Amino acid sequence: MSDAAAEIASLRARLAASEVRARTAEAELAEARAVVSTSEAMIAHLRLEVARLRREQYGRSSERRAQLIEQMELQLEELEASATEDEIAATHASARTTAVTAFERRRPVRKPFPEHLPRERVMIEPPTACLCCGSARLVKMGEDVTETLEEVPRTWKVIQTVREKFTCRDCERISQPPSPYHATPRGWAGPNLLATILFEKFGQHQPLNRQAERYARKGVDLSLSTLADQVGACSAALEPIHDLIRAHVLAAERLHGDDTTVPLLARGGTRQARLCTYVRDDRPFAGGAPPAAVFHFSTDREKIHPNRHLAGWTGILQADAYGGYNDLYRPDRKPAPVTGALCWSHARRKFFELADIAGAVRKGKPAHAISPMALKAVERIDALFAVERDIAGLVAEARREARQRLSRPLVADLHTWFPAERAQMSRHNPVVKAIDYMIDRQGRWGTFTRFLDDGRICLTNNAAERALRGIALGRKAWLFAGSERGGERAAFMYSLIVTAKLNDIDPRAWLADVLARMPGLPVSRLPELLPWNWAAERARHAVVSPSPPGQVVAT
């Protein structure tokens, strides 16, 4: 071999060795990135779990911790996605070299798939001969099953209801069975489709125009006006159920009340309307009545609306300090004045905003601008919340006794501490306004402390705020109410959907069953369709006739 050939062979060997080293370095770098990404995701996951445990132990209703957990969840989502991408890259890189073993990411143990889901068995064609020797004498000794969770898109079908006609040989008259009942006039839409349209519009905040576009992509042409027609028809059909829910709510001894803004389409733009709710929830003091909510729409926030909503009702109203409720508390009100109970969450929030370090930093304020007094007030009020978490679900008398023993000294200490701190501050200090919200006005402190003597009263008005939460999310999707009638219709449907959610049932499934059964039921049996009765009936049927864990279909 000549010197030139030997040199070429040497260079080729060096090049091959360099390529191997480069592939090894690339695989090691990819594995290191995967390890770092996985570690970061694991650290974020553990931090999130620690934050959740701390929130459960020390402050379930803390706004600061809730915001922190939401931010950590978003961060964890991105880190998990990055870790998966890096893991795949490391696997591809290690496949090109034998010097680096493939990276395997440790994942949490996956829970088994729910037993109620149907199972579809896909049989892979078995071998007809031994893969080793080619013999055809094979005997089955078992099988390995790999389960994969799959989602099947919505399917559509047309149901043909056939009514045969018969003629009589004797009288030549035509006999035919009567037409079945339908949820809406003309009956072209089935109850499941109607329930889907209603729930997506009012429960998932998907306007009808977006639904029509999605249906069109599936090959089903349903115009916006057609869908709107069915929404109006369903509202009329469901009115008896709404009336029963409203009567149940107004039969309560205690209600939660609150409202939120709703943009209303008007000439030249939008104007601010209101959507208010009254929630009956007796579960905190072990009451036997099922929870329910009723909503009302109004074009303004005049006090005439609460007077109209609660006309003839007497009891305890838990709400914020909105002046529109004041007429309800008047001693000369007929048939009797409403007893007010103010919300400590609203009062605490005013101090919390002045003690929120993270919020101040986001707004560009220095950390030293945080009020130490506001932070101390939050800590003192949090001690009351800790007592409430321990007595949630007890009977009213047990709650009252615990509050007299544990909460009353804390409240008395607050009532002494607030004026002492206020006297040392300027009247322009924002903390003074937060204190005055509770103790400066005549009679307000007594309304705040009324929970000490009545175990039925909750410390907060959070039940009503939770009922309004979906509306706050929906404003970003539907932007505004198209008309006053549209706002009233939305309040009507929110009453049904939120009541179903309060009773832990699927609103769409419940609406579908109600729309299917209600036309054929006498008025005396309509209470059977109320969410709490409907859920109990379904539970009884499940006990009497348990369904198999899953349907097996061989394909």
In the chain, where the domains are located: 16-94, 190-343+486-544, 344-460
Is residue 319 scored above 90 in pLDDT? yes
Name the band, by pLDDT with cuts 50, 70 and 90, for residue 106. low
Instruction: Calculate Rg over the CA atoms of the chain.
Output: 33
CA distance 325 to 323: 5
**pLDDT value at position 314?**
94
Task: Kindly provide the b/e burial profile for residues 34-53, where b requires at least 16 CB atoms within 10 angstroms of the residue's own CB.
Answer: bbebbebbbebeeebeebee
Quick one: what percent of the chain has pLDDT higher than 70? 77
Q: Of 225-229, 281-285, 387-391, 497-501, where does mean pLDDT reach its minimum?
A: 225-229
**pLDDT value at position 400?**
96
Q: What is the mean pLDDT of the chain?
A: 80
Name the band, by pLDDT with cuts 50, 70 and 90, for residue 325. very high
Q: Report phi then psi at 194, rounded to 5.
A: -60, -45
**pLDDT value at position 88?**
57
Task: Tell which wins on pLDDT, 181 or 524.
Answer: 524
User: Ramachandran region of residue 286, left (φ > 0), alpha (ψ -120 to 50) or beta?
Assistant: left
In tens, the pLDDT along 187-219 reads 778 888 889 999 998 998 888 888 888 888 888
In tens, the pLDDT along 9-59 reads 888 888 888 887 787 877 777 777 777 766 666 666 666 666 666 566 555
Contact in structure between 357 and 367 (CB atoms under 8 Å): yes
**Highest averaged pLDDT of the listed ranges 90-94, 135-139, 336-340:** 336-340
**pLDDT value at position 335?**
92
Is residue 121 scored above 60 in pLDDT? yes
CA distance 475 to 86: 38
Is residue 70 scored above 90 in pLDDT? no
Is residue 361 scored above 50 in pLDDT? no
Q: Of 76-85, 500-509, 530-539, where does mean pLDDT reach its minimum?
A: 76-85
In tens, the pLDDT along 387-442 reads 999 999 999 999 999 999 999 999 999 999 999 988 888 888 888 888 888 886 66
The Cβ of residue 229 has, within 10 Å, a number of other Cβ atoms equal to 15
In tens, the pLDDT along 81-96 reads 445 556 656 776 776 6
**pLDDT value at position 127?**
78
Element (H, E) at 88: helix 63-94
pTM over 0.85: no
**pLDDT value at position 534?**
93
Which tokens go with 15? 């090049």
| Long-range contacts of 306-312, Cβ-Cβ distance < 8 Å, separation of 24 or more | 306/257, 306/276, 309/276, 309/278, 310/250, 310/255, 310/278, 310/338
In tens, the pLDDT along 454-471 reads 999 999 999 999 999 888
**pLDDT value at position 477?**
59
Name the band, by pLDDT with cuts 50, 70 and 90, for residue 478. low
In tens, the pLDDT along 288-313 reads 899 999 999 998 888 899 999 999 99
Task: Tell which wins on pLDDT, 424 or 544.
Answer: 424
CA distance 155 to 441: 61
**pLDDT value at position 92?**
63
Cα angle 319-62-205, degrees, rounded to a multiple of 5: 65
